[in-house]
Amino acid sequence: MGKGLRINDKTPYRTMGPVTPEEYESRAERYDKQLKETVGYDPTGKTVEEKIAAMRAYREDQYEKLTDAVYKRRGWTENGVPTPEKLKEIGMDFPGLLDVVEKHI
Protein backbone atom coordinates (compact mmCIF):
# COMPACT_ATOMS: atom_id res chain seq x y z
CA MET A 1 0.00 0.00 0.00
CA GLY A 2 3.04 2.25 -0.19
CA LYS A 3 3.16 2.68 3.57
CA GLY A 4 6.58 1.37 4.41
CA LEU A 5 8.94 -1.47 3.74
CA ARG A 6 8.55 -5.23 3.37
CA ILE A 7 8.26 -5.62 7.12
CA ASN A 8 5.07 -3.57 6.94
CA ASP A 9 3.58 -5.85 4.28
CA LYS A 10 2.69 -8.63 6.69
CA THR A 11 -0.75 -10.06 7.15
CA PRO A 12 -2.24 -10.39 10.62
CA TYR A 13 -1.15 -13.48 12.56
CA ARG A 14 -4.69 -14.80 12.38
CA THR A 15 -4.71 -15.03 8.58
CA MET A 16 -2.08 -17.76 8.57
CA GLY A 17 -4.29 -19.79 10.98
CA PRO A 18 -5.29 -22.12 12.50
CA VAL A 19 -4.33 -20.28 15.65
CA THR A 20 -5.47 -22.51 18.51
CA PRO A 21 -5.52 -26.27 19.03
CA GLU A 22 -9.30 -26.08 19.35
CA GLU A 23 -9.58 -24.41 15.98
CA TYR A 24 -7.37 -27.06 14.37
CA GLU A 25 -9.27 -29.91 15.98
CA SER A 26 -12.62 -28.50 14.85
CA ARG A 27 -11.49 -29.07 11.24
CA ALA A 28 -8.79 -31.67 11.79
CA GLU A 29 -9.78 -33.77 8.79
CA ARG A 30 -9.56 -30.78 6.47
CA TYR A 31 -6.26 -29.51 7.87
CA ASP A 32 -4.69 -32.99 7.93
CA LYS A 33 -5.65 -33.44 4.28
CA GLN A 34 -4.05 -30.09 3.38
CA LEU A 35 -0.89 -31.03 5.25
CA LYS A 36 -0.62 -34.31 3.34
CA GLU A 37 -1.64 -33.16 -0.13
CA THR A 38 -0.49 -29.55 -0.30
CA VAL A 39 2.34 -29.23 2.17
CA GLY A 40 3.77 -32.73 1.77
CA TYR A 41 3.85 -33.26 5.53
CA ASP A 42 2.58 -36.45 7.13
CA PRO A 43 0.52 -35.46 10.19
CA THR A 44 0.21 -39.04 11.44
CA GLY A 45 1.33 -39.30 15.05
CA LYS A 46 2.09 -35.58 15.34
CA THR A 47 0.72 -33.35 18.07
CA VAL A 48 -1.77 -30.63 17.20
CA GLU A 49 0.89 -28.03 18.00
CA GLU A 50 3.32 -29.65 15.54
CA LYS A 51 0.62 -29.71 12.88
CA ILE A 52 -0.21 -26.05 13.44
CA ALA A 53 3.48 -25.13 13.25
CA ALA A 54 3.88 -27.04 9.96
CA MET A 55 0.80 -25.41 8.45
CA ARG A 56 1.88 -21.92 9.50
CA ALA A 57 5.44 -22.40 8.23
CA TYR A 58 4.11 -23.49 4.84
CA ARG A 59 1.62 -20.63 4.58
CA GLU A 60 4.16 -18.02 5.69
CA ASP A 61 6.65 -19.33 3.11
CA GLN A 62 4.01 -19.12 0.38
CA TYR A 63 3.18 -15.56 1.41
CA GLU A 64 6.86 -14.57 1.18
CA LYS A 65 7.08 -16.05 -2.33
CA LEU A 66 3.97 -14.15 -3.35
CA THR A 67 5.39 -10.94 -1.93
CA ASP A 68 8.61 -11.48 -3.91
CA ALA A 69 6.63 -11.99 -7.13
CA VAL A 70 4.52 -8.86 -6.57
CA TYR A 71 7.56 -6.70 -5.82
CA LYS A 72 9.38 -7.99 -8.90
CA ARG A 73 6.38 -7.35 -11.13
CA ARG A 74 6.01 -3.81 -9.80
CA GLY A 75 9.70 -3.01 -10.29
CA TRP A 76 10.46 -2.77 -6.60
CA THR A 77 13.42 -4.01 -4.59
CA GLU A 78 13.11 -7.10 -2.41
CA ASN A 79 12.46 -4.72 0.48
CA GLY A 80 9.38 -3.22 -1.18
CA VAL A 81 10.90 0.04 -2.44
CA PRO A 82 10.41 1.27 -6.02
CA THR A 83 13.70 1.35 -7.91
CA PRO A 84 14.93 4.65 -9.38
CA GLU A 85 14.47 3.06 -12.81
CA LYS A 86 10.82 2.31 -12.09
CA LEU A 87 10.23 5.85 -10.82
CA LYS A 88 11.78 7.22 -14.01
CA GLU A 89 9.62 4.89 -16.12
CA ILE A 90 6.43 6.21 -14.54
CA GLY A 91 7.52 9.84 -14.55
CA MET A 92 8.06 10.18 -10.80
CA ASP A 93 11.83 10.57 -10.72
CA PHE A 94 11.69 13.78 -8.71
CA PRO A 95 14.94 14.64 -6.87
CA GLY A 96 13.29 14.70 -3.43
CA LEU A 97 11.57 11.37 -4.01
CA LEU A 98 14.74 9.78 -5.35
CA ASP A 99 16.59 10.91 -2.22
CA VAL A 100 14.05 9.15 -0.01
CA VAL A 101 14.02 5.98 -2.12
CA GLU A 102 17.80 5.71 -2.36
CA LYS A 103 18.08 5.61 1.45
CA HIS A 104 16.18 2.31 1.42
CA ILE A 105 17.83 0.57 -1.51
Is the same domain home to 43 and 69?
A: yes
Residue 86 inside a domain? The answer is yes
* Confidence label for 66 from pLDDT (cuts 50, 70 and 90): very high
Residue 94 inside a domain? The answer is yes
pTM: 0.83
Q: Domain tally for the chain?
A: 2
Residue 1 inside a domain? The answer is no
Is the same domain home to 65 and 85?
A: no
Residue 2 inside a domain? The answer is no
Domain, as residue range, for 34: 7-74
pLDDT tens digits, residue range 6-44? 998 888 999 998 999 999 999 999 999 999 999 999 999
Predicted pLDDT of residue 1: 47
Is the same domain home to 88 and 61?
A: no
Burial string for 66-94 (b: 16+ CB within 10 Å, else e) reads ebeeebeeeebbeebbbeeebbeeeeeee
